[in-house]
Structure 1
């Protein structure tokens, strides 16, 4: 690399230590950021996480591996969440610190992989090292990967990538080994592939990527060995798909129905054909160019759905993908590192997502593994330019700035959804999420503004009507709340919160039987819907049936253990039933949840006298 020579091993190791430093500088400030988006769903509403008692608690581990989706239930990922929750509780810092360690480890694997590839293809020692170092630095600082690092639920992509990248390293290494060591290293690659699959099904493309490396990086005079390697990886892929076909069908049905999000008032998953066509288009129109120029990023993009083959965007994307495949073939001998980089983009999880309909066509954390190919290409090109140091510095500084800016967006849920709403002005979900966030924070006027934005575009939107009714309840405007909720009921809503909120209206009106009936309807729509049992408890408490109220409050805490209002009402019910010790226990829990609550502190002092 012109203008920069690293001749001594000690100096080289010093530069490699810069990779963790980049991650720490760019992401360190995000460690204290709160949970955002659906982090809480993956952690606090997952009993496998909250009930995890450690790796030596075999019952917990076995339960995680025996989920209804089998090995597709992401058991290794759930175990990491469980360990975080066991040692960090509800503090997001421990979860985010783990994400940073995983990203750092991935960057070091990227360094090792590029170094192996460069040396395999006869690159000079110094240039190979600098190509690997630059590629790892670009990966560490890449703004497109922010969602997978800062977003705790994005760990599914980064942790899968750790085993995915390790498998690719072992595949390249095995090509240069002979005898038993070749088989051992290849077995290590397979073991990493299995672990990647147990984290997330992004690993479904690993066997194909491994086959690509077998033919691109293994010596050309080992055709027989390459053929055997290909057979082994094809057999592994087919065995995984056949062995898990029942669970794959169950996951496919779940994602196609998208019942949880539909019940929450969001859009249904689009049918397979439009999803497939749109995904092919978005591979190039959204993901590909952002792998190199990562600007205009968003937590909730709004792609244009394609419904037929007449879309120019679809055909442009197909032409680009065909051109990339052609480039792999043409560069395989003259520029093999570039060929590998392009192959790892084409054969990556983004391609697999196109055939498996999900609620969102585009989500940036899905590009984590695919971006490996992009940084290989950029590093290989930049080190061979006339001014490699200057151009590499410009690229890195640009990425640093963009990643810092992106982390500022992710540091708070309000900035996250305002950014998404600004970049997709007509998409409803950012405004719904902003409304819910403002509502939780007590900014009712802002919440009303966001819900009215949604209702102007979709007058019968279930979630907006139900949540707006809830806001009016908080403002004690019961009549307006009832009007909004009845509008949703008239529209034959399947959104449980509508029935829950209307039940609260009936409870305030003293119509306890009507409230009880509405809560039962909500529970029928979603048996684990938070606040159903809480409001049933309130009904029994108002009817002076404190023992039954306690039963309902405890049932609510089984579903929603961190609910402050439920702990408060349970403490009041225990006190009313003559159980001051149990009452104090829940007041103390509430004090930990709300340390600044003076009324709780007064109640604790009263009970301790």
Structure 2
């Protein structure tokens, strides 16, 4: 990588470092927000006590890849860097943000080197500066989980730069750079999935840049060969060989990746991506409309939002929807650029072609074209595509600045864009200071996303401001009346405010939105595990009334019938059965829960209490000790086992 950066002068590198530092210095004062909570704060894979092999068995969020709830995002090398951060500073957010800033600087410098392959020196610096200050990158740089984009981009660009060295004198093949490319592609993919798309860029580069073919020449050659009037040129055979090696390596990576996710795609709800579960033509029209939406964010990043799920962008349900004009305009413009870049020879068309490849190919995994993703729009996935956009802008600026009439205007416009983008980025960073500031900034852009109202409520709830949190949760139910989670949040907050009647009403509304049993009809319905907590929460609420214990037990059993592997339902039911003086049934519930999770110290403790009720102190003591083996500081297990040994006179010898 250092060798590839050798063409970048010290002044250019210093300029980029200074610009990035000026734009992102305030990101060091931000905390862990939004997805950082799951990926950093709640991820046990960061802890030194967790075996290192777990990083290669779990997804990005620390969930085993084999579990249904896993998002199947396999990024072990990114998690490894989080673990290194934790090793040096534990959960001090400054170190995490600082490393992200450093990675962004590295990406900008390597990107400058890539630009110099297609642009002159001045335009390359312009493209790199545009990339460095673009506000769309705040989510990738200031959001700690955006490190996946940063790391993947470094190896993505390094892989491409390596491949550009694979053409030797007299068009011979140099295999070492190709081998390095394949290795770097694998590393990029282990940082984030989109890293594999660099192979497509290498293929386009090989055919249209390194070999200098144009589409008419390729078509004419193919026609001549098919007619038997010619043979495949030796140079073309060499090109095919290189492409076959690249494609075979890519296929191997894809096969390994499919095996890692155990041939299962993640399952998302309609709230994550409403278009994914919509009927035709709404699904196709909406997915196509999202392309100009993403393009507009690159062109005009004035209104940025951390979460574009749920009702942020209403579905395009009809051909008469005026938004289809934007889709049509986008495809006409894109098509004209593609025709220009493939049909005509010359440096300008080659620059446009490579810029388009950087825009289109890395975006394909997030485009919903081949499989649905768990978001509508995500700003951080535009990190790599924005490279192609910046090359296009810099190339256009070069054309304008070369005209004497427009030279001064082009420089003024460039300065204005760089300055306003830098200010916007600096200001946007402050939105990521806390969860409250982040979600409030998102609500200014979009008030139709119930998830945002819920998230502001959660932020206030964490501060024990239940009255104000309730207002946001209620607003979420009004924005999305069928959002089960929002009604559960309202119920929980009412409970925290000791308003049990209102809490029960809210839980009942949430319960009514769950899939209902239809007598005499068999059908399958997917239920989000978190939504099943409505049965637990409602049962926990009503069991405070001694006359409603059977009703609470019925709710626990209903949750178990809907999801037999619902561990928390067995635990809560076991506690209730003890309260109902049914220790044998409580024992059955805890044993079933232990079949699902034998590493839960609380479960072994609860089972020990059941054995005390069953007058079996020896078995109780065994279970207390199992709890202590898993958690030596389990205070209740320590106290009760000591008390039991004192009262019964039993000395447990493992």
What TM-score range do you get, normalising by the shorter chain?
Answer: 0.7 to 0.9
> Is 1:42 the counterpart of 2:39 in the alignment?
yes
Structure 2 residue aligned with 1:501:
537
> Is 1:315 the counterpart of 2:322 in the alignment?
no
> Is 1:279 the counterpart of 2:280 in the alignment?
no
> Is 1:304 the counterpart of 2:314 in the alignment?
yes
* 2:509 counterpart (464, 468, 487): 487
CA deviation map 1:353-410 (0-9, x unaligned):
2312113221111111101101112223334512465443222112101111211222
CA deviation map 1:492-529 (0-9, x unaligned):
36513322322331343356665566456657777998
- Following superposition of structure 1 onto structure 2, how do residues 112-123 of structure 1 map, counting pairs within 5 Å? 112-118=113-119
Residues 176 and 219 in structure 1, CA contact (< 8 A), matched pair in contact too: no
Specify the SS of the correspondent of 1:472. Answer: helix
- Following superposition of structure 1 onto structure 2, how do residues 346-365 of structure 1 map, counting pairs within 5 Å? 346-350=360-364, 353-355=367-369, 356-365=371-380
> Is 1:24 the counterpart of 2:24 in the alignment?
no
Structure 1 residue aligned with 2:105:
104
Change (3 A) 1:525 1:214: farther
Q: Residues of 1 paired with 2:251 and 2:176: CA distance?
A: 22
Residues 148 and 155 in structure 1, CA contact (< 8 A), matched pair in contact too: yes
- Following superposition of structure 1 onto structure 2, how do residues 59-78 of structure 1 map, counting pairs within 5 Å? 59-60=53-54, 62-64=56-58, 67-68=65-66, 73-78=74-79
* 2:600 counterpart (555, 560, 565): 555
- How far residue 181 of structure 1 moved from its aligned partner, in angstroms, is 8.0
Q: Residues of 2 paired with 1:482 and 1:11: CA distance?
A: 65
- How far residue 178 of structure 1 moved from its aligned partner, in angstroms, is 7.0
* 1:374 counterpart (386, 389, 409): 389
Specify the SS of the correspondent of 1:73. Answer: coil
Q: Residues of 2 paired with 1:524 and 1:97: CA distance?
A: 48
Change (3 A) 1:86 1:490: same
CA deviation map 1:40-78 (0-9, x unaligned):
22234444x245558xx6544554599439996222233
Structure 2 residue aligned with 1:237:
250
Residues 531 and 556 in structure 1, CA contact (< 8 A), matched pair in contact too: no
Between 385-394 and 357-366, report the one with greater CA deviation: 385-394
Between 100-109 and 319-328, report the one with greater CA deviation: 319-328
Structure 2 residue aligned with 1:467:
489
Q: Residues of 2 paired with 1:390 and 1:525: CA distance?
A: 64
Change (3 A) 1:206 1:470: same
Q: Residues of 2 paired with 1:451 and 1:571: CA distance?
A: 35
Residues 109 and 166 in structure 1, CA contact (< 8 A), matched pair in contact too: yes
- How far residue 275 of structure 1 moved from its aligned partner, in angstroms, is 4.3
* 2:30 counterpart (29, 33, 58): 33
- How far residue 313 of structure 1 moved from its aligned partner, in angstroms, is 3.9
CA deviation map 1:267-318 (0-9, x unaligned):
694358644442332222x122332332222122322323466644443333
Q: Residues of 1 paired with 2:279 and 2:353: CA distance?
A: 31
Structure 2 residue aligned with 1:154:
146
Change (3 A) 1:11 1:92: closer
- How far residue 470 of structure 1 moved from its aligned partner, in angstroms, is 0.6
Q: Residues of 2 paired with 1:533 and 1:268: CA distance?
A: 36
Change (3 A) 1:407 1:196: same
Q: TM-score, length-normalised on structure 2?
A: 0.72
Specify the SS of the correspondent of 1:577. Answer: helix
Specify the SS of the correspondent of 1:95. Answer: helix
User: RMSD value over aligned CA atoms?
Assistant: 4.0
More helix per residue: 1
> Is 1:258 the counterpart of 2:258 in the alignment?
no
> Is 1:420 the counterpart of 2:476 in the alignment?
no
Change (3 A) 1:378 1:527: farther
Aligned residues: 541
* 2:640 counterpart (557, 577, 582): 577
Residues 157 and 366 in structure 1, CA contact (< 8 A), matched pair in contact too: yes
Residues 51 and 60 in structure 1, CA contact (< 8 A), matched pair in contact too: no
Residues 43 and 81 in structure 1, CA contact (< 8 A), matched pair in contact too: yes
Change (3 A) 1:160 1:174: same
Residues 164 and 192 in structure 1, CA contact (< 8 A), matched pair in contact too: yes
Residues 280 and 317 in structure 1, CA contact (< 8 A), matched pair in contact too: no
> Is 1:145 the counterpart of 2:137 in the alignment?
yes
Specify the SS of the correspondent of 1:291. Answer: helix
- How far residue 113 of structure 1 moved from its aligned partner, in angstroms, is 0.8
CA deviation map 1:2-48 (0-9, x unaligned):
xxxxxxx999413312222322232222223222112222234444x
Q: Residues of 2 paired with 1:469 and 1:542: CA distance?
A: 24
CA deviation map 1:200-220 (0-9, x unaligned):
221342221111221343153
Change (3 A) 1:537 1:380: farther
Q: Residues of 2 paired with 1:206 and 1:170: CA distance?
A: 11
Larger Rg: 2
> Is 1:165 the counterpart of 2:157 in the alignment?
yes
Q: Residues of 2 paired with 1:134 and 1:308: CA distance?
A: 41
- How far residue 418 of structure 1 moved from its aligned partner, in angstroms, is 2.0
Residues 65 and 261 in structure 2, CA contact (< 8 A), matched pair in contact too: no
- How far residue 536 of structure 1 moved from its aligned partner, in angstroms, is 7.2
Structure 2 residue aligned with 1:565:
none
Structure 2 residue aligned with 1:325:
338
Q: Residues of 2 paired with 1:31 and 1:393: CA distance?
A: 26
Q: TM-score, length-normalised on structure 1?
A: 0.76
Change (3 A) 1:24 1:535: farther
CA deviation map 1:453-496 (0-9, x unaligned):
23334445311221111111111111111121122223336513
Q: Residues of 2 paired with 1:77 and 1:345: CA distance?
A: 23
Change (3 A) 1:333 1:103: same
* Structure 1 stretches lacking a partner, 5+ long: 1-8, 119-127, 559-569, 581-609
* Structure 2 stretches lacking a partner, 5+ long: 1-5, 214-234, 402-406, 516-526, 604-632, 644-654
Residues 487 and 507 in structure 2, CA contact (< 8 A), matched pair in contact too: yes
Q: Residues of 2 paired with 1:288 and 1:62: CA distance?
A: 35
